[in-house]
Structure 1
Amino acid sequence: MIREAEITDKDQLFDLYRMLVPNSKKMNVLEEQIDKIKRDPNNFLLVFDEKGKILGTLTLNICLQALHGLRPYGVVENIIVHENHRSKNIGRKLLQYVEDYCKSIDCHRIMLLSNSTRERAHEFFEREGFNGSISKGFKKYF
């Protein structure tokens, strides 16, 4: 089942994020941030829950813009499926959930970024209809 994360999911989210960024020294999953995201109508921390086990997660941010009238766009970040449960359509179901939601609110597009070295993930995103050759992503960390 796909649902919004609860503060009680904090430890399982931490474990998933550790798989995404195993060497991060800045990772800090906070219950109050999970709750803040849940209360924000434009931000979603979604989890794939199977009998109380969080097997996948992603963050969806709905962004307003002036370029396309009233149509917002979605940004997907921090998508990760538990390493022991990959190739079981969990990522596909999470992205389909996002796509269905974005269509329901008339989004113009959905974007996502992926670490340039995650080639297996890139293949998955392309199978799901995302085109990695349209844009080039840039990041600046603080």
Structure 2
Amino acid sequence: MTARGDRAVSAPSVRSATRQDLPAVLDLYRHLNSDTDRPSVTTAESVFNRFLAYDGSAILLCLVGDVAVASCTLVVVPNLTRGARPYALIENVVTHGDHRRMGYGRKVLDAACDAAWAAGCYKVMLMTGSKQPGTLDFYRSAGFEQSKTGFQKRR
């Protein structure tokens, strides 16, 4: 435990989210997209079950005590190039608004990269829609290089 002000704070830990964590994950996502409709528990469980079918993929959760403070989604994608080594995508990087700038986002990104390397991935990619210098600096400080041009097509 470390002290923060006058209260004791548990050391952060990172682990893969489970079905029981879905309400906390969905609460955390409100700090990513506050205007997005929250799925029902049934829908969230169904999507989570489908997500688990992607070997090596995980929703990583940073906890302080039993409070979810940050998360990111790691998807490991099978690949027939690069010696058939997979690659990984990171999406939905979020830190609770009350817990930013404390290193928790970096912890989940580091855990995601470690998991990707353990799965044999040759690269890890992420994209951000943010143009805020602080967000871009955060990704750079976590070891990501702004090296490609991203495109998307939305429905």
Please indicate the TM-score interval, normalised by the length of the shorter structure: 0.7 to 0.9
Q: Give me the whole-angstrom Cα distance separating, in 1, the residues matched to 2:122 and 2:141.
A: 20
- What per-residue deviation string (whole Å, max 9, x for no partner) do you get for residues 15-62 of structure 1? 21111112224x426123224434542321111122221111110000
The aligned residue for residue 75 of structure 2 is 61
Q: Contact 2:56–2:115 (CA<8 Å) still a contact in 1? A: no
Q: Distance in 1 between matches of 2:134 and 2:60?
A: 22
Residue 60 of structure 2 corresponds to: 46
Inter-CA distance 71–40: structure 2 relative to 1 (3 Å threshold): closer
Match of 1:28 in 2: 39
* TM-score, normalization by structure 1: 0.87
Aligned-pair RMSD on alpha carbons?
1.8
Of residues 15, 21, 25 in structure 2, which corresponds to 1:9? 21
TM-score of the pair, normalised by structure 2 = 0.80
- Write the letter of the residue equivalent to 1:91: G
Structure 1: gaps of 5 or more residues: none
Relative to 1, partners in 2 of residues 1:2 and 1:38: Cα closer, same or farther, differing over 3 Å?
Answer: farther
Change (3 A) 1:38 1:48: farther
Structure with max Cα Rg: 2
Matched, 1:139 2:152: yes
Query: Aligned letter for 2:56?
Result: N
Structure 1: distance between partners of 2:19 and 2:115: 23
**Count of residues in correspondence between the two structures:** 140
1:105-120 matches, within 5 Å, as 105-120=119-134
Q: Distance in 1 between matches of 2:52 and 2:64?
A: 20
Farther off after superposition, 74-83 or 120-129:
120-129
SS at match of 1:114: coil
- Give ranges in structure 2 of 5+ residues lacking alignment: 1-12
Kept after mapping to 1: 8 A contact 2:56/2:119: no
Does the aligned pair in 2 maintain the 1:58–1:79 contact within 8 Å?
A: yes
Q: Distance in 1 between matches of 2:55 and 2:81?
A: 21
* Structure 1 position 97 matched with structure 2 position 97: no
